């Protein structure tokens, strides 16, 4: 009888303890993943005019499974908005920054542009570049102020896997993603 009880507890209780530990480790991450329901991500191979460049952009990350939108625990997903002769960068944590565009030029067979921007409030100027790197997935490489961001037009938001780092009451570690490759 004792042997039967030992076998019972060995097969039933030990796996349960192992399972709860795994659940605890996963709950420490507290990640929610939403998979795309639509496929709108393709963008034109070129921008035929300055007016055809999409106005609202959202940052895209990349991991071993492909492109995704990351919603961090602390802050918000970075965005860029073109409005007439200005460009607004919404950073993850810092306040947004608005630049007046002084010079705007399409480049490289119309699949890229560069602009000189000037932040009137902070008296900072810098160069902004954007280049289509993957039109099928709707990915554009933006470069400014030492930053490189992969971005997609905001209307493509639901075309990507979305990973949300939940943090109801306290800060959680943010996820790390693959570095931005040097696109040719």
Please name every residue paired with 32 in a beta bridge, in sequence order, or none if there are none: 164
The answer to whether 141 and 148 are in contact (CB under 8 A) is yes
Specify the pLDDT at position 17.
Answer: 31
Q: Is the pLDDT of residue 1 over 50?
A: no
pLDDT band at 69 (very low <50, low <70, confident <90, very high): very high
The more confident residue out of 127 and 4 is 127
Sign for the CA dihedral angle at 115, 90, 66, 63 comes to: positive
Joined tokens for residue 84: 């007439």
User: So what's the pLDDT on residue 99?
Assistant: 92
| Nearest partner of 80 among 32, 7, 144, judged by Cα | 144
How confident is residue 60, by pLDDT bands cut at 50, 70 and 90? Answer: very high
Average pLDDT across the chain, whole number: 80
Q: What is the mean pLDDT of residues 98-113?
A: 89
Q: For residue 34, how many C-alpha atoms fall within 13 Å in the half-sphere facing its CB?
A: 14
Sign of the alpha-carbon dihedral angle for 157, 163, 168, 169: negative
pLDDT at residue 183 in the model: 57
Q: What is the pLDDT averaged over residues 79-104?
A: 91
- Whole-angstrom distance between the N-terminal and C-terminal Cα of the chain? 72
**32's tokens:** 């929610």
Distance CA 74, CA 143 (A): 23
Contacts from 95-101 at CB under 8 Å and sequence distance 24+? Answer: 97/122, 99/126, 99/128, 101/128
Average pLDDT over residues 161-182: 80
pLDDT of residue 84: 86
């Amino acid at each position: 009888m004792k042997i039967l009880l030992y076998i019972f507890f060995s097969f039933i209780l030990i796996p349960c303890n192992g399972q709860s530990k795994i659940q605890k480790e996963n709950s420490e991450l507290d990640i929610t993943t939403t998979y795309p329901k639509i496929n709108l991500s393709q963008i034109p191979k070129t921008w035929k005019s300055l007016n055809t460049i999409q106005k609202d952009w959202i940052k895209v990350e990349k991991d071993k499974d492909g492109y995704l939108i990351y919603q961090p625990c602390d802050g918000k997903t970075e965005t860029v908005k073109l409005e007439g002769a200005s460009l607004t960068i919404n950073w993850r944590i810092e306040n947004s920054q608005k630049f007046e565009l002084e010079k705007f030029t399409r480049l490289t067979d119309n699949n890229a542009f560069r602009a000189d921007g000037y932040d009137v409030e902070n008296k900072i100027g810098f160069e902004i570049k954007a280049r289509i790197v993957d039109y099928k997935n709707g990915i554009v490489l933006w470069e400014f102020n030492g930053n490189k961001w992969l971005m997609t037009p905001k209307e493509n938001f639901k075309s990507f896997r979305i990973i949300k780092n939940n943090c109801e009451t306290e800060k959680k570690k943010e996820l790390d993603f693959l570095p931005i490759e040097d696109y040719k």
